[in-house]
Amino acid sequence: MPTLSPDQFRSRFPIFERRIYVNSCSQGALSTDVEGAVREWTESWHEGGSPWELWVEKVEALRTAFAASIGAERDEIAVMPSASAGINAIASALDFNGARSNVVMGEFEFPTLAQIWLAQQRRGAIVRWARAIGERLEVGAYERLVDEHTLVVPATHVCFRNGHRTDIAALTDLCHARGAYVLLDDYQRTGSGPMDVHALGVDFMVTGCLKYLLAAAGVAFLYVRHDLIERLEPTITGWFGRVNPFAFRIDQVDWPDTARRFESGTPPVPSAYAALGALALLERIGYEAVGRQVERLVARYRTAAEAGGFVVRTPAEPERRGPLVVVQSLDGPALVSRLGARGIVASCRGNGLRVSFHAYNNEADVDGVVAALEAESALLERASAPAVSAPARAYGDVGQAAADVAAPNRS
């Protein structure tokens, strides 16, 4: 049962004593709980020297905790160092030389997702693009492409550029009716509300702890639907992908009957400790409470930004947006810097100012950001002015300017 109110939850994050933090879409804020978990790891290292049995137990505890948080079985979860590693493991296990060789992707994907599948063209994959119209990517765009030749449809849940939320349940129904797999990139949404991955119906899912799961880089998760696990043997593998890693066999490649077969090298122990601390904290407030708070704040901010005459790229319908709202600026990096000088931590991709919310945010944070935007309105595009930004269709183009995607954060 949840034991923390949003105010109590907020108090676990010291940054709010001095800043307005609305950048969970890049990096979750640091809690005292995660800080304590990292300290627990360093103390175990000091005390035990090399307590690997304990550390592996912690990784297994993380597997169990994350599975419970998304309604999965623990054997359906692989603990990975990054979402990219999870996608690569699945891609390497698929055969593109049969009747199904097509990969259908939308234009709102994060670069790593697109790039990994483009790389499979050397192995016979044929990539087809579901085109966006403006700031929207409808299931109908996939419907025109997914057919008897489609093997897999990788799809992002919430777009990192504009906050658009894809109807994944409808997309999954479409793909399954036509015999194709669905791989969901949920990184820009996991932790911002409740989730039941079985009810959603996807075949594979990748996500990580850097953002709304409120931990650190270096640990991510791959979900594989239970009945698919033993059908797939990844060629990107390693010693922790074996039945017993500590058998140290060099003459055999055996496969666990769980999602551990998709793991490779030594597990990310420090990040696992941090993630356990974060998941325990999220359990104390409850994902339903997180979702309600996020939805309320997103609605308040989007409404205020639109009323202020700014160009809001995130859809108006609640079911078509996630925890991230994007407002178009004339100079994104300059605006982020000016907001930073006002004590507001946000981010941009290109000239899209990204403001994202978690349960630790409140109405005062929203109002503070809106007031800062009004004060810096010279750097913002107005709804009545001619559009100056690149059309949404360019977001998925291979020729996208490198400066528009270069960033230290995953998405």
| 360 inside domain | yes
pLDDT at residue 108 in the model = 94
Domain boundary among 231, 260, 282: 282
Domain boundary among 282, 315, 337: 282
Residues 14 and 48 in one domain: no
Residues 255 and 305 in one domain: no
Residues 195 and 252 in one domain: yes
Q: Tens digit of pLDDT for each residue in 335-387? A: 999 999 999 999 999 999 999 999 999 999 999 999 999 999 999 999 874 44
Residues 6+ apart with CB under 8 A from 276: 37, 58, 61, 62, 65
pLDDT at residue 196 in the model = 98
Domain carrying residue 401: 6-30+286-405
Residues 117 and 259 in one domain: yes
Residues 235 and 277 in one domain: yes
| 235 inside domain | yes
pLDDT at residue 168 in the model = 98
Q: Tens digit of pLDDT for each residue in 139-182? A: 999 999 999 999 999 999 999 999 999 999 999 999 999 999 99
pLDDT at residue 1 in the model = 79
- Give the CATH number of the domain where residue 151 resides: 3.40.640.10
- pLDDT category of residue 388 using cuts at 50, 70 and 90: very low
Bigger pLDDT: 386 vs 249: 249
Residues 254 and 381 in one domain: no
| 410 inside domain | no
Q: Tens digit of pLDDT for each residue in 172-215? A: 999 999 999 999 999 999 999 999 999 999 999 999 999 999 99
Please provide the average confidence, as pLDDT, over all residues in the chain: 93
pLDDT at residue 395 in the model = 34
Residues 233 and 114 in one domain: yes
Residues 112 and 193 in one domain: yes
Residues 259 and 126 in one domain: yes
Tokens for 288, please give them: 């339903």
Distance from C-alpha of 10 to C-alpha of 185, rounded to nearest angstrom: 27
Residues 6+ apart with CB under 8 A from 273: 37, 38, 40, 41, 58
Bigger pLDDT: 395 vs 223: 223
Residue 197 — φ and ψ, nearest 5°?
Answer: -65, -30
Residues 252 and 299 in one domain: no
Residues 169 and 93 in one domain: yes
- Total of domains in the chain: 2
Residues 241 and 371 in one domain: no
Q: Tens digit of pLDDT for each residue in 9-67? A: 999 999 999 999 999 999 999 999 999 999 999 999 999 999 999 999 999 999 999 99
Percent of the chain with pLDDT over 90: 92
